[in-house]
Homo-oligomer: A and B are copies of this chain.
């Protein structure tokens, strides 16, 4: 019998959102008449904008004719899409990103998960806590995490608490990690770093030779002027940071699957023999060997988001969700709850009332309000006692969810 990757064996058998979905399914099966409002898994509900839908239908027609048929595309993504990204997402903000630094993929989950392929398993990793579980779990799988500790952490991963007491701004590490995951606007807390705060991280990485893996999947939700959309707005970041972007939350592509990763050419790593190696070249090699490009149809849809109509339609959808965020935020605050996020991000992070644990509040909210959220403790030990709700629901459902919770708080 073959030997498995033992790192998998150390991992909890279930991914957080799979577990949330499993519990919801069990509850729904046991209570078939209950109308559950789902604000747990961070999935969107608004349809794909007309510009992207039309682009997909045209692309489907392209595929029906030998003269416009597209077979294998470049593993890195079509140049027309990479050019649209470079112009629309970077040049428009005064940031210079070369199209050879952009790698289009089937989504940021794949990229943030697979990026570890190119770095040593010896690298020490730091994450903010709470954190998107993919960062931790994929490092466990790769053997970088060490062993589980009694408090639900991993012995070789540094956790940087983000809690109410530090206003959700992580302290700089004290142990010089090689790799630092930062996600801003943050999932799950919905909080941000200002330009000055992010500049401290870039400075730290430059001083300590660290690599920042910057996940800006939620940048489209930023409203505050002093919050950077890209880490490359910070001087010197090109030498220390890889940036991950996704069309999932920007344009509702969770079911279409497209994102991209920027690996600047200045980024270097070192091999055992002392050779200095370009991380851009390594990632290109990884992607061209283990990936065959994102779907042509979906790349055309992504391209359409950069047209004036696409841009306007996307902005409308984001405004729709941010109205939900405001309703959630204000509604919960009126109930006397402590709430963060919802201003530059589609996530509402709240302190559970009455010192309930995160999973206790999950059950409480599900049983009494038929509202599903995500337990903060699922995102790491510093998430215990917190809870995440998303603004990605339908407006009517968001209003109803707040109303149900208000009724409950009045009745209690």
Q: Are B269 and A1 in contact (CB under 8 A)?
A: yes
**Copies of this polypeptide in the complex:** 2
Instruction: Determine whether A237 belongs to the interface, using a CB cutoff of 8 Å to chain B.
Output: no
Q: A41-B72, A72-B43, A110-B290 are in contact. Are A210 and B268 (CB under 8 A)?
A: no
On chain B, the residues within 8 Å of A18 by CB distance are 288
Question: Range of interface residues on chain A?
Answer: 35 or more
On chain B, the residues within 8 Å of A107 by CB distance are 292
Q: Are B290 and A109 in contact (CB under 8 A)?
A: yes
Q: Could you tell me which residues of chain A, from 35 to 72, have a CB within 8 Å of some CB in chain B?
A: 41, 43-48, 50, 53, 56-57, 60-61, 63-66, 69-72
Closest to A246 in B: B292
On chain B, the residues within 8 Å of A118 by CB distance are 4-5, 8
Q: Are A3 and B119 in contact (CB under 8 A)?
A: yes
Q: Are A293 and B257 in contact (CB under 8 A)?
A: yes
Q: In the complex, what's the smallest C-beta–C-beta distance from A76 to chain B, in angstroms?
A: 10
Which one, B48, B66, B179, B256, contacts A2 given CB within 8 A? B179
Instruction: Determine whether A281 belongs to the interface, using a CB cutoff of 8 Å to chain B.
Output: yes
Q: A4-B282, A6-B271 are in contact. Are A289 and B63 (CB under 8 A)?
A: no
Q: Could you tell me which residues of chain A, from 192 to 233, have a CB within 8 Å of some CB in chain B?
A: 209-211
Which one, B61, B66, B121, B269, contacts A394 given CB within 8 A? B66
Q: How far is the CA of A209 from the CA of B3 in the complex (A)?
A: 10
On chain B, the residues within 8 Å of A209 by CB distance are 1-2
On chain B, the residues within 8 Å of A45 by CB distance are 66, 69, 71
Closest 4 CB pairs of A and B: A113-B290, A3-B120, A4-B269, A43-B71
Q: List 18 A-B pairs, Cβ < 8 Å.
A: A2-B119, A2-B123, A2-B178, A2-B209, A3-B269, A4-B119, A5-B117, A9-B273, A45-B66, A50-B64, A56-B297, A60-B60, A66-B394, A73-B255, A106-B294, A109-B290, A134-B289, A254-B292
